[in-house]
Each structure stands twice: as C-alpha cells, then as structure tokens.
Structure 1
Amino acid sequence: MSPADVARILDEMGTLLELRGENPFRCRAYHNAADAIRGLGDDLPERIASGRLAEVPGIGETIRAKVVQLVTTGSVPLYDELRAELPPGLVALLRVPGLGPKKIKALHDALKVESLADLRLAAESGKIAGLKGFGAKTEQKILEGLGFVESTGDRILQSTARRLVSPILGAVRSHPGVIEAEACGSLRRRLDTIGDLDILFSSDDPAPVLDRFVSLPEVASVLAHGPTKASVRLAGGVQCDLRGVSPGQFPFALHYFTGSKAHNIAMRRRAIARGLRLNEYALEGPDGPIPCGSEEELFRALGLHAIPPELREDRGEFDRAEAGPIPPLVERGDLRGTFHCHTDWSDGGNTLAEMAEAARDRGLSYLGIADHSRSAAYAGGLSIDRVRRQWEAIDELNAAMGPAFRVFKGIECDILADGSLDYPDDVLEGFDYVVASVHSSFGLPAEAMTARIVRAVRHPLVTMLGHPTGRLLLRREAYAVDLGAVIEAAAEAGTMIEINASPHRLDLDAPHVRRARDRGVAIVINPDAHATGGLDDLDYGVGVARRAGLGAAEVFNSLPAEEASRALTKLRTRG
C-alpha cells in the first residue's frame, strides 16, 4: 500500500473513531499520524524495512503497528471493524455544517440516518425537531447545511487533488515517449477546491502514453479512451483527464487548459484586436502560425509580460502585465519562519522539541508555538499555570538549540462571545505574540460577530487574527461577519491577519487577502500545524498569497528572526 493511501486510511480511522464516540485525543492521534506519514512521503517503506519508523515523531507504538500492517498486508482489523460497524454514508454527514460526531451518532441511533438522503428526508418530515437536544432551529440549520453541501458538489480539497495527481503525473512523466507533462486546470491555478484533474503532456506519439494511463492502479474505471485523450474515474470517484499534444502545441495547450475561462476569453479578444487568432493549439497570424516555445513567448506575442498561473482570473492581471513585468510572487523558500503551531501541550501530536527540529529541518529559522488557551478544554487548552510552565520549557529549548534557531512564545487565544480574550492582560503581556481566534458561538448574528472580532483585533496585545472567517472548506461555511469592518479595524490597530494554510481552511481567502494588503494590513502565513507534517501545509498558504498577488516583502514571516522579533516587540508595546 502506498504512503498516500496509508495516510488516507489513518485519517478515515480517526474520523470513524470520532463517529463511534471515542476519546477525542485518540481520534486526533490518528490524524496526527496521517500528517506524519505524509511528511515521510516515499521514505515510508524504507523506514519500515530498516526498523526506523519508531524514530518518526507523532506516530505512537499502537498506530505504528497498524501502519506496518497496512504497508505489508494492505489491511488492518480495526479499520475493517469500523467500516463494518459504521455505515459509509455517515462520514459524508460530517460535511453538513453544525453536525459533529455526537449529533450524527444521535441521528443514526434514533432515526437510522445513514446518508445525506436519509438526513434530508428526516429534516423535511420534521422528525429531527422532536429529538432531544435538537429542536426546530437545529432542523432548519441542517436543511440549510444540506444546501451548502449540495452546492459544493463533488469538489475536493486542493491537498486531496495534489495527493491524487502526484503518482499519475509521475507515471506520465516517466514514460519514455513523454517530453513534457504538467497538471493544469484549477489545480495549477491553486484554487481552494478542485472539481476534477487535468493533465497535459507533449509527445510525438501520444497513444502508448494514454494506453499506459488507463491501466494505472489508481484507475477504477475508464470513461473514454481515444488517440489523444483519455478520461478515467479514480478509486475515490474523482475524474482525471489526460490529453496529449505535439511539442509545438504544448505551450498553447498548457495555457488554455490552465484557464481560467475568463482569462482565456480575454486572451482571445486580445489576439483578435491584433489581427491574430488564438486557440488551444496555436496562435495564427495573417501569414500563418506564430510559433511559441513557452507560455512566456505566447504572452510576449500578445504584448504582455508573463502572467503566473495563480493570477489568471481576468481580475486585473492584464493591466499589470501590460504595464511591465509582474513583480515576483512569494514562494515557499521566502518564508523564514511561521507562527500558529500546536504541540502536545494542547491538541498537537508532537513535543516542543520535535516541532522546532522539524521546522529547522524544513529550512526555517524560527517557529512560533501557539497552543490553545484555557477555554478550549476540548483541545487541552492551557491553564495560566501551564502557560508559565510552557514558557520555561521554551526557554530551555531555546538554550539547547542555540542562536541559529528561535522558538517564540505564543498562544492561540480564544475570542470569547463578547470579544474579550481568554486570559487577563497580565498573562497576555508575557507572550511574544498572541493569535486571537474564534472557536465558539459561530451562530452569532453578523453585527454581533463583527463587533466581537473587531473588539479583539483592536486589543493592543493581539498580534494577529487567526482563521478570520472560521470556514472549513467543503464542511462548514464562514460565519456571518463584515470582513470589510474587520480589515479596517486591523489596519487602524496595526494587527496582522493570518492566512491559515491548513488545506481544510485556507482562511483568509485570496480576494480578502488582497483587500487587506491594499489597506496596509500585514499578512502572515501560518500552517495551524498540529503535527510536524502539518508544517508542510505552509505551501498551501503560499498559494493563497500568490493568488492575492503578494510578493515576499508583503508577508510578515519572510522577515529574518531578529527583524521579526523586533517587530513583534514593537506591536506588543503599541498600546
């Protein structure tokens, strides 16, 4: 079994255990182990063969045995037991906003709800309103939540799309007849969620490549198979299209199949205005085809500087590319450190030292620890006494790691329902920085939620606002809030706003990041990592920043450690 499949099954086991009502920390352990496996990538089989899997942080002895079993036999009894015990449709119910494992279990026990269709039938017939702990309001919210789920269709997270496309793209690139190959579509533009997968390759003889594609182990069924294109359904139900073109057609096809549709329409209009004709395979002038060896040459032929894929939405990129070269967008390598990371002091899966070492191994020079605050009892939130003990532990860790790496003392402090913070000021003053986040009372009216967040953003000891809208992609809508007012408050107070890089959040989204940047708000990219593997999610946040058009200088954590430290001190004393 591949490492990606092992991680997927561990995640599913954690979810199924939640639905069974198991201890939240046990459930989280499976999710943390999945993150750790993803961090290993193709090194997993070698780790198992050499007996070094025990060295990997975040994978305890019990789960480690299951990982070995999955890799060597392809199955594990607990997974089979959970799947037999719990109807497969129950997992889909977690996508309905407001429905957690406990409520799903109650609905299953009382009404035999086993699917989204069962849930809609029960809600529309009024059966849910009569259940203890539910009521008419909950029933109505469930119906609204079902509408949200239906509106997202079969879209998947960007992280899921990357996981699915990686082995397929690798197989295509390794074929001896392939010259170039790239993933296209919304995945190349790094959208938050993805509909299906598109891969393009160039070859003088595409048919053998397509023959190999339809026989890959990831393919569940073949939808179409022709001489230049094939479409398949992958094991998880996602459609993947592979298209072959000649080497001369590749730059044009790569641009066209990357999209967006609006960008492509604007490009065609631009070509027509210059007496040219552009389609997915060629650019033609009065005297015949105009060869282009790359996308950059295509843009140049239309009087433009290169436009990165993330900006191709027909939202101002043509004006920028016509005026001059678009400044380089931020890259993962520009980040010197990050904040908003959890450890096993709250609900993380790794120790302080393990998180710091993992950050250093990834080329970072500092890491901010922001475990949960005391009101988050469900996540092992820190009492004031434990806060002070963690500070001591961080001091010891900094002394041990030396001057080349810095661990900052932070906290993810709950914004309470009235906008006050979870600790008194005399405690907050002891942190290097404070991430203020909403974790409760999501259903407040927009006016109250806006006032709540604005009050926190204006607090002089709040450094940055965490996951500003509370959304969980494909699972929970953003709460009602006036983001314009929040951004204005952050601009006035000098408070940063986070791009939460968790692929389940990607919050703030690109349009609002652009708006915040334009108002002078500092942007920070944070992974919200709950295990060492979660640090790799920084790249998803970089994608959001790139779609917003940010350069490295516009991202706070591109600063070196000493400059970041001075800036944090200045913010902490601004009130």
Structure 2
Amino acid sequence: MTKHDIARILEGIGLLLELKGESPFKSHAYYNAARAIEGLTEDVGPLVASGKIRELKGIGEALAAKLAELIGTGNLAYYEELKKSVPAGLIEMTAIAGMGPKKIKTVWEKLGVTSIGELEYACIENRLVSLPGFGEKTQEKIRQGILQLKKRRGFHLYANVIGEAEHMVSMIRCVEGVRRVELVGDFRRRMEIVRDMAFLVETDDPHFVVAALRHVNGLSEITQVGRQLTAKSGLGLPVSLTLSKRISPHAVLAATGSDAHLAALAERSRLRQVVWNPAESEGGHLGPQVGTEEALYAALGLPFIEPEMREGLDEIESAEQGRLGRLVEASDIQGIFHNHTNASDGSGTLEEMVEAAKALGYRYIGISDHSQSAFYANGLKEDRIRAQHAAIEALRKKVQGIAVFKGIEADILPDGSMDYPNEVLARFDFVIGSVHSRFNLQEEEQTARVIKALANPYVTMLGHATGRLLLSREGYRIDMKRVIDAAKAYGKIIEINANPHRLDLDWRLCRYAKAQGVKVSINPDAHATEGLEDVPFGVNVARKGGLAPEEVVNTLGPDKILAALGSRANDGGER
C-alpha cells in the first residue's frame, strides 16, 4: 500500500467524520495526518513497523495503530464501519463544485437528499434556497456543478492516462506474433481530454495474438468481433484494438482523425481527382500505393501535417500556403517561468526548485511566488519580497550553470490594477499578471480588467488566461480575442500554463495568437519540484496551436531572454 493510498483513506475518514457532524478537531486530525503521510520522502512501511511514524506531527498512538492495521492487512475496520454509516451518494457529491462537507450534511439532514440525482431534483424544485447557508445563487451554482460533473464523467485528462497508454503499447508489443503497434486517435493528436484508447496492431497470426492479449496485464472485459477487439484499461478507459496483416499509412491516418480533418482531406481528394478507396482490404489507400503518411499528404499536394494539428480548423489552408514550419518541441525549451516556492504555496524551497530545474536541463528558472493579495496562498508582502530577492542573489553565487530570475505572480485586482505599486513591480525581472478572484464578472468587465492589466508597463505576461480547470471549472467569461489583440498592442506575452488541469491558453486560441504575432511562454506553474516536469504537456498545446520555436519566448537562451521579456529590472541573467 503506497503513501498515496494511505493518505486517500485518511482523507476519506476525515470527510466521513465531517459528514457525521463529529468534532472538527477529530476530522482535522485525519486531514493533517494525510498531509503528513503524503509529504514523506521515505517508505511509510518501515516507519510504521519501527514505531518511528509517531515522530510525525499529528500521529499519535491511536493513528499509528490504524496505520499498522492498514499496512498489515490492506484494510481498516474503522474506515469500513464509517462508510456503512454514511450514504455513498454523499461522498459522490464532493465532486460537485460548491458542495463542501457542511453543505452536503445540510441537504442530507434537512431534505433527506442522499444522491446526486436527488440533489439535482431538489435544485429543480427550488428546495435549496431556503436552507441555511444557501440561497438562490448557491443553488444555481450547485445545479451548474452537477451539469459539469455529468459532462466530464467518462472523460480523462491526457496527462493522467498517457502513462497507461504508453505502457499498454509496450505490453502489446511484447506479445509474440505482434510486429508493430500504433497508438492512434485522440492520444496521437494529444488532445487535452480523452475518452478512450485506440491501437492498431500488425500481425500475421491474429488468432494467436487475440488469445495472448487476453493475458495482457491491464486489459479486462475483452470481447472480439472479427479482427476488432474491445476492452477496458486498468483506469477504466474503453480500449479498441484493430488487428491487421499490414498497418497501412492510410489506416494510421484514418485512425488518427479527427473526423473534420479527414473530411477536409476527402473533399480535397475529390477536387483534385485523387482516388480514395476505403474498401481496400487493409484500410484503404489514397492515391498510389505509398509507404508513409508524408506520401499521402504529398499525393494531395500538401506537406506533412503533424498529428497534433489535425483538427479540421485552418491546418490544411496553412499547409497549402506554406505556413506550417517545424513545430516547437520539448527539447527547444531553454528555461521556465511561473514557479512557486514554499515562500507562498509551493512545497519546495528556493534552492530545491532551482536545483530540480537544473537537473532537468533547463538553463534558467523564473521564481514567481504569489503576491500580497493572495492571503490564501501566503502571498508576499514587501518585506518578504526583499528577503526573497536577497536569497536569490545569494543562490546565484552558490549554484552555477543556471540563471535564476526574480519574478512574481501578481494578482490582477477587479478594477484591472495590480496589487503592488509600480515601484515595487519595477524590482522584478518579470511579472506574471493573473486573475485569482471575482471570476463571476460580466464578460465586458472581465475583458476590460485584463486589458487594463496588460497596459501596465511592468506586467510581462498574462498567466492562465481564462482561469479554467479542465473537467472541473469553466473559464470565466472573457473575450480572449480582444485580450490577445491587446497583448499585441502592448507587446505582452501570454502564458501557456502547462499544468495538466489548466493547459490555458487553449490551443485553439494559440492559433489566433500566432496569427496576431503574439508570443507565448510555456510555463509549468509548478508548486513542487515534480511540477517542473509538466512542461511537455504545455508543449503539446503549443504544437496543436501550430507554434514554431521562435513563437515561444522561453526557447531563447539566458543571454537573450530578459530583453525578450522587456525586463525593467537592473539585474538578472546567468550567475
């Protein structure tokens, strides 16, 4: 049992105790214990066995005994009994935006609501508005949260499941008789949200391979219709496997999609009188028999279009006009901005974040903790800014081979002003302006707010532009095309936030930013050293947006980046 499994169970106990109305001290004890276990850097098992686990703050004799039971048996009787005392539907309600334990307890006790379906019906009947702590706006927020939950069920963040998909490729490739495996569909196009996995499998002996696939670890519920197999992955994604004696380029093209891109290619083939024969035995062919996808596009008079761009938007027109160059790659990224330390709400120290970035091969890192308005994130007031800058200057002398830049993620206030005066902002090498409050402004107000911030001469770039959280929270109402136009007018950069839950700026808007000549910075928004590794997910967004290396500012080296940022600070650079 991993520390993550243990922490999840402890958090579950804390939640159940809250729902039952137990003492807050009791539930918080379990929440604190979960955080302590999650933060361990060593194996929890030996610590429990030796009794050293009690040296952790918040782990007393009773909790230590429960941990021993968990690790020893894989179960915890106390947890199982608690679960029996609370309807399972109440736990599911915690996934709804706006429904915390207190509100869930209220609708359970006052209305007898024990499931999401009952809660939705209670909203329709307007029964929540009179409950203490609710009201009309809260009821509508909960109703919208239920709709969002329904919408996202069955969907998965690409980052959460790409590891399983790649592992599946490796497992299938090891099956005797399999010559080739291709992961296609949404995964190959690197969509930010996926629903299923699709594989093409090349083999001369499909019957033997089908039998062998039934024993592949991670595949279950396998059914077969001809050469088509369906299954479930370990994470619950539907899986399809198409077996054939030869994986033709056309089969790869067709299975990659998207439908809109394929329809545009079909129309182009009709206009150019190039034969498209989907009835051909191994998946059809386009034009003459060819061995590569590149040749298929060439048959239509087009350069190769990378899989990420095949969304049926403007990629064919861009290819035809010669506007598709080399797309940015993860290896092009020289350094990273938007990184938090434990000075605000990060978990890593300044030195730990810098050393981790250096270990990943980056040549510079920009530190940008939260600003003073972000009280919830321990934002920095002016005295702490001075202290952090002194620490950065000292670290520059100590750590060689990586530049460390002084930055801040400054809150954009509701009126569009920044939460520091300009004389404070002038001390930074870069300033990320971000919205962290008042998401419910009308579109015109929100747009004007952000544009005013971009007009500030000390703001370098716009952070997580729409505030969205994938599969969790819609972005706020804002006219992003006007914002991008303003970024162009003021010479500002827009962030592609590489956190897999954000991926904001959206790739569709990246194409508009590219057309307007607005540059982006691919930033991890890291709150721990592990978060630095999210950059490739942001690169996926940039590639889907058609961005070349020169359109991403942090492909520049440390000797050129400050000039590109328009920094008004007096120092910085490699130390």
| TM-score interval, normalised by the smaller of the two chains | 0.7 to 0.9
Matched residue of 1:435: which SS?
A: strand
State the identity %.
Answer: 38
Letter aligned with residue 333 of structure 2: L
Cross-structure match for 1:517: 514
Letter aligned with residue 125 of structure 1: E
Instruction: State whether structure 2 residue 158 is matched by structure 1 residue 161.
Output: no
Instruction: State whether structure 2 residue 532 is matched by structure 1 residue 535.
Output: yes
Distance (whole Å) between structure 2 residues aligned to residue 80 and residue 197 of structure 1: 35
Cross-structure match for 1:470: 467
Distance (whole Å) between structure 2 residues aligned to residue 477 and residue 16 of structure 1: 30
Distance (whole Å) between structure 2 residues aligned to residue 557 and residue 164 of structure 1: 30
Cross-structure match for 1:451: 448
Instruction: State whether structure 2 residue 210 is matched by structure 1 residue 210.
Output: yes
Cross-structure match for 1:309: 307
* Corresponding pairs, count: 544
Letter aligned with residue 271 of structure 1: S
Q: Cα gap change, 1:353/1:112 in structure 2, threshold over 3 Å: closer, same or farther? A: farther
Letter aligned with residue 373 of structure 1: S
**Structure 1: runs of 5 or more not aligned:** 37-43, 52-59
Per-residue deviation at 1:102? 5.6
Q: Pairwise CA RMSD of aligned residues?
A: 3.6
Cross-structure match for 2:504: 507
Distance (whole Å) between structure 2 residues aligned to residue 348 and residue 342 of structure 1: 5
Cross-structure match for 2:238: 239
Letter aligned with residue 242 of structure 2: R
Matched residue of 1:561: which SS?
A: coil
Matched residue of 1:340: which SS?
A: strand
- Mapping for residues 50-69 of structure 1, pairs under 5 Å: none
Letter aligned with residue 385 of structure 1: D
Distance (whole Å) between structure 2 residues aligned to residue 459 and residue 13 of structure 1: 46
Q: Which has the larger radius of gyration?
A: 2
More displaced stretch, 203-212 vs 88-97: 88-97
More displaced stretch, 296-305 vs 211-220: 211-220
Per-residue deviation at 1:73? 7.0
Per-residue deviation at 1:354? 1.4
Cross-structure match for 1:181: 181
Distance (whole Å) between structure 1 residues aligned to residue 68 and residue 202 of structure 2: 40
Cross-structure match for 2:439: 442
TM-score by length of 1: 0.84
Letter aligned with residue 245 of structure 1: S
Cross-structure match for 2:22: none
Instruction: State whether structure 2 residue 458 is matched by structure 1 residue 461.
Output: yes
Cross-structure match for 1:170: 170
- Mapping for residues 129-278 of structure 1, pairs under 5 Å: 129-222=129-222, 224-247=223-246, 249-272=247-270, 273-278=272-277
More displaced stretch, 167-176 vs 360-369: 167-176
Contact 1:169 1:182 in 2 (8 A): yes
Distance (whole Å) between structure 2 residues aligned to residue 226 and residue 331 of structure 1: 39
Matched residue of 1:462: which SS?
A: coil
Distance (whole Å) between structure 2 residues aligned to residue 310 and residue 190 of structure 1: 6
Contact 2:274 2:300 in 1 (8 A): no
Distance (whole Å) between structure 2 residues aligned to residue 27 and residue 551 of structure 1: 46
Distance (whole Å) between structure 1 residues aligned to residue 293 and residue 77 of structure 2: 50
Instruction: State whether structure 2 residue 368 is matched by structure 1 residue 370.
Output: yes
Letter aligned with residue 405 of structure 1: I
Matched residue of 2:229: which SS?
A: strand
Cross-structure match for 2:426: 429
Distance (whole Å) between structure 1 residues aligned to residue 325 and residue 69 of structure 2: 47
Q: Cα gap change, 1:141/1:237 in structure 2, threshold over 3 Å: closer, same or farther? A: same
Distance (whole Å) between structure 2 residues aligned to residue 414 and residue 485 of structure 1: 20
Contact 2:6 2:34 in 1 (8 A): no
TM-score by length of 2: 0.84
Letter aligned with residue 553 of structure 1: E
Contact 2:429 2:568 in 1 (8 A): no
Letter aligned with residue 121 of structure 2: L
Cross-structure match for 1:116: 116
More displaced stretch, 447-456 vs 119-128: 119-128
**Structure 2: runs of 5 or more not aligned:** 19-26, 48-55, 571-575
Contact 1:410 1:433 in 2 (8 A): yes
Q: Which has the higher contact order (CA 8 A, sep 6+)?
A: 1
Contact 1:25 1:347 in 2 (8 A): no
Cross-structure match for 1:339: 337
Distance (whole Å) between structure 2 residues aligned to residue 185 and residue 559 of structure 1: 33
Distance (whole Å) between structure 2 residues aligned to residue 462 and residue 83 of structure 1: 50
Q: Cα gap change, 1:91/1:484 in structure 2, threshold over 3 Å: closer, same or farther? A: farther
Per-residue deviation at 1:254? 1.4
Cross-structure match for 1:297: 295
Cross-structure match for 1:54: none
